[in-house]
Structure 1
Amino acid sequence: MSNKVFFFGAGFSKAINGDYPLLTGKDGLTNRVLRDLKNDNGDDYEKKSIQQHFKEIPQSLTDNIEELLTYLSSDLPWKDERQKAMNKALYIDITNKIVKIFESINNYDFADCNSKQFQKNKALWEFIYKENITCVSLNYDLLLEKNLIAASNIIKKQDEMIINIQEEDSCGKFYKIPILNIINRVSNSCSYRYELPEILKLHGSINWLYSSISPSDSIFYRDFQKVENNLIEDLVPFIIPPILDKNSFYNNNTLKSIWKRAHTSIKSAEEIYIVGFSFPLTDLPIKLLFQSALRKNNDVKVYVINPDNSDEFKSRYKHIFTEEQLQWDFCGIDNSLEKFINNKVLNNNLSEAL
């Protein structure tokens, strides 16, 4: 395992592909989901029931996605069984809308190794792959998986530069916690390659599915092949939407293991690269993750890669990390990720080659 760790927030995906939404803002994920909800006029009985239930919820909640989802997912003592059932149906409907937004940007095709987007950031993907760097991510999208698979094909075919998609080109080779390929619902065989980078998705992924019944539920992942409906019709997406209280999700045994591995990786890291994350006050578990993991690691270097240079932004970091740990070289500048790649990643690759 590498002594380096990447930590990716939504700003990372946005920096790679401007079509990805941030949580807030006019075209952010929150507003897009709320617009879809308010304009959703389904024809079937189920859709109409969900829409009617949405209209019965106080407007003060329906204008704030975090408060709405927190209300829907909380087992509050005054809710009767009908309310709980309708809340769960609306909650699943919102989750599906979030997944569809990301799927419209990030479909299940492989990354194009010859595209300008891939070539622009090729050094980053190869750096992660060759250095076997653990990537801790809060993002639902498949940007990491797709580009690391493309990088692995380039590295495997380096001499002739012929890109072949092979059967082993699966997201699963980067998920080292036992998340099963959906096709393994009829075949229990699975294997993990520990010499590859690991992707730890703390908030789930658009290609993860589970039954949403108990903490022991298995999490399955969809790969890039077409999946028969009979394999997934009883499952719902496993993503942790932006809610104020995420504790109910953290009871899932597989997700607990993912968080523990993230804690271990951060704890032993010598360098941490935090890309596109501002430590919002509503995401307390992430703050506690770093504070707990680094409480005895005073020598770690934490690189902040973000165009934001405001006092408020920096104060959040200073509340978590020491001045000695923080590295501001790539903070508060335009195209901060691109400059990080050009100055840190390429220089590292050059020194490795020498």
Structure 2
Amino acid sequence: MGSPSRSQVVFRSAEHELMLGEVFEGEKDVFVLGAGFSRAISPSMPLLSDLAQVLMEPAEFLSFGGSVEQWLSFLAEDHPWLKPAENARQHALFLQQSSRLAAQVRAAQASAVAEGLPTWLAQLVDLWHRGRSTVLSFNYDVLVERAWTKILGAEADEAPTAVYPIPPAPLRTRQRVTRREWPGPDTFRLLKLHGSLNWLYSGPAGTQSETVYDVSSGAGWAFGPEDEEDYAALLAPDKVPFIVPPTRGKTAFFDHELIRAQWQMAREAVASAERIFFLGHSLPDSGGMLRTLLRASARGKVLVPIDTNQAVVERYRSLRSHEVVDEYVLDAEPIPSFVRYCAG
């Protein structure tokens, strides 16, 4: 299905109408990114179903119905029928599989970068920047940050720190390399609610207030040293990527103050928004925390899913007390089409 013309694309309902040029206006709109957003950037980027195929053994895949979420939840939790030593082995396996998950996303990200920066992504990031938008991301990759540093160039100060409202400490501070104090450009806010590949910490057993480090090199869209799997291990052998795996029970990960503070900012953004755009976020079973947030803080808001699957619309309608606009659920390339429409 080709890109619709402006006359074909009308976000219209009984009380709300979205016209060209009205999106990306400060606090009016919030954007939520899911795995489908990264897949739209590159077919190399995995969905949960792809990760299940890679990470799970055939017997595990069969036992858990191909759900990587249920499988990782099983590994992460204590079970009363297991001995303490067996539960400990399960937890160790969970950490190993979480590292494998990070490695898979990192490799896919390198492939996506090699394919070049999509024009529509550059346009979208520029619109976010000019509109000072709030973007809630559930993705581990740093493709948005890379696009931002590429577009802003020297103004980005060689690192994506400015898009993080609560920036992690640059990893080079561990080597006592001083960084020029720089307030950074006035730009959009990127809240990474499930962590990020370029963030490092001691693991879920660490303290709630421990320092989180940013391993980014600020290489723009190009392949950088942080893409090398051994790079972080060389500079921080005691750290692991700070990512919240797709499990049902994420409480231990959400205990860290960096993640909790971002969720609190997300709640404020959602509560003050008029419309919430979901770019490639299908509201899966592992999105229980987002469902709760929307039910608690987004009552009466206009929800706009931008996806390829019509079934996604019903998931958003099941939240109740929200108006769901479905005019931008298309058969192919809905996200690039949406961006081209908004960019004029």
How would you bin the TM-score normalised by the shorter chain?
0.7 to 0.9
Q: 1:267 to 1:191 in 2, by over 3 A?
A: farther
Q: 2:105 aligns with which of 97, 102, 105?
A: 102
Q: Does 1:136 align with 2:148?
A: no
Q: 1:303 to 1:62 in 2, by over 3 A?
A: closer
Q: 1:333 to 1:95 in 2, by over 3 A?
A: same
SS at match of 2:48: coil
Any gaps of 5 or more consecutive residues in structure 1? 39-54, 154-164, 348-354
Q: 1:208 to 1:108 in 2, by over 3 A?
A: farther
Partners of 2:157 and 2:184 within 8 A in 1: no
Equivalent position of 1:218 in the other structure? 211
Q: 1:294 to 1:203 in 2, by over 3 A?
A: same
Partners of 1:118 and 1:147 within 8 A in 2: no
CA distance in 2, matches of 1:9, 1:261: 18
Equivalent position of 2:55 in the other structure? 33
Pairwise CA distance, 1:339:
1.7
Q: 2:324 aligns with which of 323, 326, 334?
A: 326
Equivalent residues, number: 304
Match for 1:86: what amino acid?
A: R
SS at match of 1:206: strand
Q: 1:23 aligns with which of 43, 48, 54?
A: 48
Equivalent position of 1:150 in the other structure? 150
Equivalent position of 1:52 in the other structure? none
Q: 1:124 to 1:330 in 2, by over 3 A?
A: same
Partners of 1:2 and 1:131 within 8 A in 2: no
Q: Which moved more, 1:224-233 or 1:131-140?
A: 224-233
Q: Does 1:341 align with 2:332?
A: no
Give 1:1-354 correspondences, 5 Å limit. Answer: 2-24=27-49, 28-34=50-56, 60=63, 64-107=67-110, 117-153=117-153, 168-187=157-176, 193=184, 195-212=186-203, 213-224=206-217, 226=225, 227=231, 229=233, 231-295=235-299, 298=300, 300-310=301-311, 313-320=312-319, 322=321, 325-343=323-341, 345-347=342-344
Identity rate, percent = 24
Pairwise CA distance, 1:90:
1.4
CA distance in 2, matches of 1:204, 1:34: 22
CA distance in 2, matches of 1:248, 1:229: 24
Partners of 1:10 and 1:277 within 8 A in 2: yes
* Offset from partner CA, 1:278-314 (integer Å, 9 cap, x none): 212342111011111213xx3x43222111113xx32
What's the TM-score, normalizing by structure 2? 0.78
Pairwise CA distance, 1:233:
0.5
Match for 2:343: what amino acid?
A: L
Between the two structures, name the one with larger relative contact order (CA 8 Å, sep ≥ 6): 2
Match for 1:303: what amino acid?
A: V
Q: 1:264 to 1:34 in 2, by over 3 A?
A: same
CA distance in 2, matches of 1:220, 1:87: 27
What's the TM-score, normalizing by structure 1? 0.76
* Offset from partner CA, 1:305-325 (integer Å, 9 cap, x none): 111113xx32211122546x3
CA distance in 2, matches of 1:238, 1:271: 30
SS at match of 1:199: strand
Pairwise CA distance, 1:337:
1.0
* Offset from partner CA, 1:185-215 (integer Å, 9 cap, x none): 3448676547221111111111111112232
CA distance in 2, matches of 1:260, 1:69: 26
Pairwise CA distance, 1:147:
0.8
Q: Which moved more, 1:139-148 or 1:206-215?
A: 206-215
CA distance in 1, matches of 2:285, 2:156: 42
Partners of 1:206 and 1:238 within 8 A in 2: yes
CA distance in 2, matches of 1:78, 1:221: 40
Q: Which runs of 4+ in 1 moved over 3 A?
A: 61-64, 75-81, 186-194, 225-231
Pairwise CA distance, 1:88:
2.8
Partners of 2:170 and 2:215 within 8 A in 1: yes
Q: 1:214 to 1:85 in 2, by over 3 A?
A: farther
Partners of 1:176 and 1:192 within 8 A in 2: no
Partners of 1:129 and 1:151 within 8 A in 2: no
